[in-house]
Structure formats: C-alpha cells, structure tokens
Amino acid sequence: MKIPSDKQVLVTSALPYVNGNCHIGHLRTYVPADIYVRMYRKMGYVVTFVCGSDTHGTPIVLTAEAEGVTPQVVVARYHKHFKEIFKELQVDFDYYGQTDSETNHRRTEEIVTRLIENGYVYEQVINQAFCSSCERFLPDRYVEGRCPYCGELARGDECDQGCGKHLEPGEMIEPKCKICGSEAEFRNQEQFFFKLSSFTDFLISYLDTMGGTQNAKNYAMEWVKKELKDWCITRNLGWGVRFPGRDDLVVYVWVDAPIGYISFTEELFRDRAKGKGKLGEDGQEWRRYWKEDKAAIVHFIGTDILYHHCIFWPAMLKGAEYSLPAAVVASGMVKIDGRTFSKSRGDVVWVTEFLERFHPDTLRYYLVTQSSHTKELNFSWESFAMRLNNELVAILGNLVYRLLSFAYKNFGTIPDGSIEEEILIAITKTKEESISAIEEYEFKKFVDAVMKLADFGNSYFQREEPWHLIKQGDRDRKRAGEISLNVLQLIKAICILLEAVMPAKMEEVWQQLGMERDLHSVQLDELLVPVESGKALKKPYRLFERVEAEIIEELS
C-alpha cells in the first residue's frame, strides 16, 4: 500500500500476552514491523511505533492462582522480560506500555460507554459453564471441552487445536473445569453483547478498501460473508477493566487489548508534551491519529488473531466513532522443524537461548529471509546455519571485509575518483526494488534485492582485479583506488538499506567506513551521495563468524 507522503504513519505490533517467555514465533511480527518502521522513516515519513503488554484475560489469572501470587506479579515479570528482549533485538518502539494502565482503563470505559450510548450493546441471559465444586462460573481458559464446530479438543475462547474458531461463552461441548477437572454444568447468567451483526455491511465495504496483506483481507471477507454473530463482551472475573456500572463484570480481554493501541499513543504524546514542554504539544496529539484521520494506522499481527483485528476491532472503532486502520499486515505462523510450535513437546526456540550463542541481527535477518511474510516459516538450525554461512558470511561479510582490508592497507583513506554509471544504476535499481517490496510487505524480496547488490559488488571487485593494478605504475594504482571507491559506494548503500534489518551490524560497517553521522537517521536520498574521498578508514574486522556443523548438530 502506498501511503500519501503528507500522511503520518502509526505502526503497531500485536501485543505480547505476558504469561510466558518470548520465543522466536513472537518475533515474526515484531521484527518485520520494526523493519517497516525504519524503512518508512528512511523514505521520509513521520512514523510512530507503539506496542505494549497484553495483561488481562484468564491465562494470566490461572498462572497467578497456580503460583499463589497476584496477576500483577505475573504481568510485571514477563513485561520486563519482553522489554529486555525488544531492547536486545533493537525492536525500537517509541512507546511500550501495558493494558492495565490507568489510561487504558479510562479509554476502554469511554469506548464501551460510547458503544452503549450508540445502541450497540445489549444485555442477555445466557447459559454458561459453571463448576459446582469450585462454585464459580468458568470464563474462557477456565473451561476445556470440545469445539461445537469441528469436534476437536478446545480450550477457553478458541478452538486452538482444530478449526481455529473463536468460541463464545457457553458454546463449548462437554465443558470441564480447568481447576478441579469436574464436569461443568450450565447455569444462567446475564452478560453484555456487542451487536457485531449490525456491522456486516460496514465491514464488507471497509475490508474492500483496507490495505495490508491479502491473507488478512481474504480470511476476514470470508467470515463476514458467512455470518457474523453478536459478540459477548463481558466476563465474570475480578481481573480486567470493569464493565461500566457493573462491579461483578469485566470486559472481555479482546475489548481492552486493542484499545491499548490508542492508549499507548495517548501515553506517548502525553509524555512527550510533559518532557519537552514544546509549544503546541498539549498531549492531545493522539487525536490526530485516532480521531481525525490524519494518519495511516498500520497493524502488524499474526494470522492467529486476524478475526480480532479485521472484524471485532474495526466494528468497535466504527461504533465508537474512532479512525479506522488503513492496513492489517498478517505474518504466517512459525513451525519448528516442520512441527507446530508447542511448549509441552519441546518444539520451541526461546529467544534468550538463541541470543546466548548468536548475534541478534542474525536472527532478524533469518526471520525475514527464510520465507515471505505471509507464508509459514519453518525454523530449523540447519536453515539458520545456511543463511548465516552462505549469505551473511560468504556474500555480505566477504564483500565488506575484503574491500575494506584492501582499501585500508593500500590507501588508508577513501581514494579519489568518480562513481561509475554501472554502480549508480545498480544502486538506483536496488532502491526502487526495496521501496516497492516494503510497500507490499515483501520483506524477503527487499533483503534479497539488497543482497543481490552485495553479490554484484563481489563480482565487480573480482572482475576488475585491483590487486594486480596496485602493483603496477601510478596510473594503475590510481585505477585500483577508483575501483575501491566504487565498491565503497556500494557498501555505503547496502549499509543504509540493511540498517533496517541489522541495525547493530550495519552500525559497525558504518564505523569502519569512517562515517560520522548517525546511521539510523540517514535517509534513502543519501544512497547516491558520493562517499567522501580523503576520509580516513578504520582497520576492518570480520562482521560475522561461520557456524560449524558440530554446533548445529548439538542444537538440533
């Protein structure tokens, strides 16, 4: 999707549910979102990037109960964990909040109240799972049973082993209490419903123009055209955002979680207004994004939460008179050695364990090059080693180290000369390919295009054989310098582009090139600005280390 150049951009990444540690499946959404943000900034856009921890809902309450602590303790632990992971991986949010904040409670109450006032919420008595030995209602994850649609084992509010459908309270067949294992009975209880069905026509026309990946659009359209059922938005639970006027009910976690996107934007601009005391910044700037349609809102999510982002969320925003998302970008899921991710079976790769051995940038690189964004990514240590050895070491690392060693040893500074047409054309072409790939959320295409430029750099250097020329007379020596200058120009361009993917490693290359400006703020206009002759080069070192077969065997 092309975003008009005068529009600001708000990018959000799906909120991690803070009930466990970060695994590489999570990163499939955050890393591409971060790359997208970095590239749009390089293209000259004003981009705001927010995220935060999803803190409510039953899984956290169950964990807390099992540990004998409060939900706040569980939330604080994993909130801290995710913040640390994002820092280490340089997933660089402008603001990272959490949905139990006062702002989010207030914003959720305001939106739900607005939906009530606008006639989109009604009360209804429903038959709901109740455990008579625990003497409680069993919301969401408190209940396990079978899916009424496909018959598979299901838990709580979704059929996660079978058809993937969202399950409404009372829908599950043969419900059992998760706490004590007894068969649950059904009891009447009043709950509040959101009139999702009355948004059918709106959603059909909204989805038709919504940007983002095709998978998001297609799935959502299919669901809407089948039939939309009204949505139960309250639960009998003590942990969450109170339903207005009812002390015994909280709103369903999927109401207050996406509202977090709005609250984090509010909190960001309020903090900025406080911190900077800038004239005109009164903390109300979030309204430009969420009330006044002045920005393009782009949501990065996994395909498992498409329903919530393409159906519930736009209907809620519409019903409460907020701005609608411009695009929903859905990444395919991650498998481990061909198997579905599972903590209990050990089919999981924890990010902290990965980072004990490998540089975070190699993971960022792998996650976007292993498969295109909407396709399933099948992680294996073998495929990781191949990308690292054959691409990062053999193509990119080789180009940078070989050229810089040659130039450093023979010249010490960036040599004189002019940039050849061939080089300028190659850079221009890569720039264009990169921009269109990013606009289409084709992160793999983007990185492949830049790696092709690195490949071209290697063959150019090989073809021109400057190591022969350097041993000859002055004229040949001058030509060897010019060849180096041309490759340096290529490396500069690669560095600016790949900063979006490997910010730390490209910073190192930038330093080796003797550049003084902050690489992270350099824009794409600079790709063709000639490198400055006469500038001192730094002594180069190798960027990436090969990973040997024994290590891979040990890890697999």
Chain residues binding Zn ion by CB under 5 A are 131, 133-134, 147, 149-150, 159, 162-163, 177, 179-180, 182
Residue nearer to Zn ion on the CB measure, 182 or 428: 182
**Shortest Cβ 127–Zn ion spacing (Å):** 17
Which sign does the torsion angle of CA 454, 459, 460, 465 carry? positive
In which residue are the tokens 């099992």 written?
66
Per DSSP bridges, beta strands 334-336 and 295-302 are unpaired
Residue nearer to Zn ion on the CB measure, 66 or 150: 150
At residue 68, the 3 state secondary structure works out as coil
Q: Give the N- to C-terminal CA distance of the chain in Å, as an integer.
A: 39
Residue nearer to Zn ion on the CB measure, 167 or 447: 167
Residue nearer to Zn ion on the CB measure, 119 or 151: 151
Q: Residue 358 carries which DSSP code?
A: S
CA 148 to chain centre: 32
Distance CA 398, CA 388 (A): 12
Distance CA 380, CA 24 (A): 11
473 within 8 A of 410, measured Cβ to Cβ: no
Q: Residue 195 carries which DSSP code?
A: -
**Shortest Cβ 316–Zn ion spacing (Å):** 24
**Shortest Cβ 146–Zn ion spacing (Å):** 8
Burial of 23 (0-12, 13-18, 19+ CB in 10 A): buried
Residue nearer to Zn ion on the CB measure, 165 or 373: 165
Residue nearer to Zn ion on the CB measure, 158 or 507: 158
**Shortest Cβ 255–Zn ion spacing (Å):** 23
Q: Please, which residues have CB within 8 angstroms of residue 270's CB and are 6 or more apart in sequence?
A: 103, 283, 286
**Shortest Cβ 203–Zn ion spacing (Å):** 22
Partners of 122 in the β-ladder: 193
Residue nearer to Zn ion on the CB measure, 182 or 218: 182
**Shortest Cβ 167–Zn ion spacing (Å):** 8
Both tokens assigned to 490: 């290529």
**Shortest Cβ 166–Zn ion spacing (Å):** 10
Distance CA 388, CA 386 (A): 5
